[in-house]
Structure 1
Amino acid sequence: MAAKRATLADVAARAGLSPTAASLVLNDVPGTRLSAEAVKRVHEAALELNYRPNPAARSLRVGKTRTIGFISDEVTVTRFASAMIRGVLDTAEQADHTVLIAETGNDLRSERTALRSMLDRRTDGVIFGLMGAKEIDVPETPPDTRVVILNGSSTTGVSTILPDEYTAGRAIASLLIDNGHRKIALIGDYREAIENPRVSTTVGHRFAGLDASLDEAGIKLLARVPSELWEPSEGYAATMQVLDGPELPTAIICLNDRLAFGAYQALQERGLRIPDDVSVVSFDDEEIAAYLRPGLTTAKIPYEEMGRQAVELLLAPSKDELHRLVPMPIIERDSVRTLENR
């Protein structure tokens, strides 16, 4: 027969106090006039009895369930953004909250089902997490339900967490410029993603940052190769196109690390050394970036920090801050050379 779960009354009886007094201690209610000795007895009794508060009863009493809903759009099924979930879980745990996770697989019906389930469980708020940053339609929620979109945006005015792509774009281009590069090519020019927030709400800002730094330095790109599929095969083909052009660049900007992987293959196949002959920079900081040789210099999408800040914004909302941009640090490795004749 299973042992009976200890109750607040059991703790109070062992500590020699009333249940009300024991509750004040265990809930850290400020301003109580209980002695330090009485507080100690309550905590010792709770430990001896292995007392665990009843979360359902507590939620009815305080009007909070201390749970957060996380509705994923392909975040849980890809290794690229697993750090986002880790940031959410760690920060929620620090705030004494539990996270309920549902995967929708980019399916609207699944999303609505997941949201209803979260609302039925009276979560204190819901985070919509996206693998690919884009503009979404948020299903209708009760006015008192906090909503944060993590790695996405909406026209409905809910809070959002996004990487600061514009600043990262400026920083990546400036890194090359500061190292003396003027003959620069770009691969991964994806017009639809730049112009349509339903495809990407961030890529346009990435390009705007790149273009701003290049324009300020008076630099015109040697080549700007289009690509909608940011995969190694496209990076390889695009780099070969650049290398077949009239002038060899001293640097190539890749719009993500997978394109850069293909660029490495093309350059090495042509007998060109990185960074001695051609420097390469990129975005995302996937695991592959650290394993490439030489290591790839890239702007990191801070998934874990974004997850942390999404929980913080959900639990401590501010009318003055609906939208947050999280800095993208530049991870400098060995793929950029400083030119001597600058």
Structure 2
Amino acid sequence: MPPQRATLLQVAQRAGVSRSTASFVLAGRHVDMRISEDARQRVLRAAQELDYRPNLMARSLRTKVTKTIALVSDTIASDPYAGRAIQGALAAAVAHGHLLFIGETEGDPVIEEKLISDFLDRQVDAFVYASMFTRYVRVPKALRGRKVALLNCVTRAVKPVHHAVIPDEVTAGWSAAKVVIDAGHREGIHVVGTPAESVFAGKERAAGLREGLAGAGLKLESGIECEWWPDSAYDAVLAALESGLRPRVLICLNDRIALGAYQALREAGRTIPGDVSVVSFDDSELAAWLRPQLTSIALPHYQLGWQAVELLLTPDAEPAVVRVPMPVRNRASVGKPAGSA
């Protein structure tokens, strides 16, 4: 049998104080309850000697606070790259003395409804509603009126009802433009990937990119349309090169596109960055694996998770959309224009 856990009454008896005094000390309320320093030290010493741990279940029944948060995601929890958001959320929860429960729906609304219902039955204090890809969402009906922070997603509401934390994709586009401009490129700049209206990241990255170039009096010369996967990017870039396109810079809308672009450039006999500089977004593991290593604007997964929980646990914070900066990871795929000093 497991050893019997010490009770609050036993702590009070060993410290020579009342049960309520011991309770106030262990709850950190010794100052407002005017408990002497000597009594406080006796209670703390008794608690340590008895290895006292509070009964959290009893406390939650009494206070209606369980110090638990539920994170409900589509596939973010099982993705080793995006899973950094889980690590950030977990670290913030622990820093605030909370437990983080994690549930994954795989995008199935039936599973989502069941998960949320189960978490509500366990009386969690708040929810983080997370998405693998940045997108617009509708908050499930069961979560309306509850404390919710949206992670990597937003609603279309004009006035936010919940906290929402997303990557600053527009500024990331500006950052990509600045990388190219700082390297001395003024022409032959092409974007690779289809920035469809339905793809939140692509639309915002392309918008920021165009604005950043325009600020320096430059513009994109063309867009090489492709899906956001290596094989589609390879086919599209190779076809463009074979048709006579001579790019100086390819700005790829994600690292998988960049992988396909690398293969196409290599097959066409173009060197990186000697003939063509390549810039990308996401900073996935691919970026460091490629040769030369790929300059990429990083998705701040850990910071997204941390910030979502921080906002959730900040008292009286007004709901707002928070955009988290995306840092530039400068590597070897960007060089000066061919022929420059």
Structure-2-length-normalised TM-score: 0.93
Q: Which amino acid aligns with 1:290?
A: A
**SS at structure 1 position matched to 2:88:** helix
**Residue of structure 2 equivalent to 1:211:** 210
Matches within 5 A, 1:152-231: 152-155=153-156, 157-181=161-185, 182-191=187-196, 195-196=197-198, 200-228=199-227, 230-231=228-229
- Report the counterpart of residue 321 of structure 2 in structure 1: 323
Residues 69 and 125 of structure 2 are in contact (CA less than 8 Å); yes or no, is this contact kept in structure 1? yes
Post-superposition shift, 1:220?
3.8
Conservation of the 8 A alpha-carbon contact between 1:80 and 1:286: yes
Gapped regions of structure 1 (runs ≥ 5): none
Q: State the shift of 1:244 in Å.
A: 2.0
The one-letter amino acid paired with 2:3 is A
1:61 — aligned with what? 62
Cα contact 2:87–2:305 (8 A) shared by 1: yes
Name the CA distance, whole Å, in 2 between partners of 1:262 and 1:113. 40
Query: Which residue of structure 2 aligns with residue 118 of structure 1?
Result: 119
CA separation in 2, counterparts of 1:10 and 1:203? 62
CA distance in 2 between counterparts of 1:241 and 1:313 reads 47
**1:214 positional shift:** 2.5
For residue 317 of structure 1, report the CA deviation from its aligned partner.
Answer: 5.1
CA contact under 8 A between 1:69 and 1:125: conserved in structure 2?
Answer: yes
SS at match of 2:334: coil
Aligned CA distance change for structure 1 residues 84 and 333 (closer, same or farther; 3 Å) = same
Amino acid of the residue matched to residue 131 of structure 1? M
Q: Deviations over 1:275-307 (max 9, x none)?
A: 111100000010111121211111100000000
Deviations 1:104-139 (A, max 9, x none): 000111111111111111111101111011111111
Change in Cα spacing, 1:38 to 1:317, as seen in structure 2 (3 Å) is closer
- Contact kept in structure 2, 1:67 and 1:123, CA below 8 Å: yes
Does 1:298 find its partner at 2:299?
A: no
1:313: which partner in 2?
Answer: 311
TM-superposed deviation, 1:329: 0.5
Task: Give the conservation status (yes or no) of the 8 Å contact 1:89–1:99.
Answer: yes
Aligned match of 1:260: 258
Match of 1:336 in 2: 334
CA deviation map 1:212-269 (0-9, x unaligned): 12233343433311223x1211221122123224341111000101111111122222
- Between stretches 37-46 and 329-338, larger displacement belongs to 37-46
Q: 1:204 to 1:317 in 2, by over 3 A?
A: farther
Change (3 A) 1:329 1:43: same
Going from structure 1 to structure 2, the CA distance change for 1:249 and 1:125 (only over 3 Å counts) comes to same
* Kept after mapping to 2: 8 A contact 1:149/1:161: yes
Tell whether the 8 Å contact from 1:12 to 1:22 is kept in structure 2 after alignment. yes
Give the percent of matched residue pairs that are identical in Structure 1 and Structure 2.
42
Kindly provide the amino acid, as one letter, of the partner of residue 103 in structure 1: E
Asked if the contact 2:84–2:302 (Cα under 8 Å) also holds between the matched residues in 1, the reply is: yes
Contact 1:25 1:39 survives alignment (8 Å): yes
Q: Cα offset for 1:143? A: 5.8
TM-score using structure 1 length:
0.92
**Alpha carbons 2:165, 2:304 under 8 Å: kept:** yes
Q: What is the CA–CA distance in structure 2 between the aligned matches of 1:164 and 1:89, rounded to whole Å?
A: 22
SS in 1 for 2:107: coil
Change in Cα spacing, 1:260 to 1:235, as seen in structure 2 (3 Å) is same
Give ranges in structure 2 of 5+ residues lacking alignment. none
Q: Distance in 2 between matches of 1:132 and 1:64?
A: 32
Q: Mark the CA change 1:143 to 1:279 in structure 2 (over 3 Å): closer, same or farther.
A: closer
Residue in 1 that maps onto 2:82: 81
Q: Is the contact made by 1:222 and 1:249 (CA closer than 8 Å) also made in structure 2?
A: no
* 304-313 vs 27-36, which moves further: 27-36
Structure 2 counterpart of 1:222, one-letter code:
E
| CA shift for structure 1 position 142 | 6.0
**Higher mean Cα deviation, 77-86 or 138-147?**
138-147
Aligned length: 335
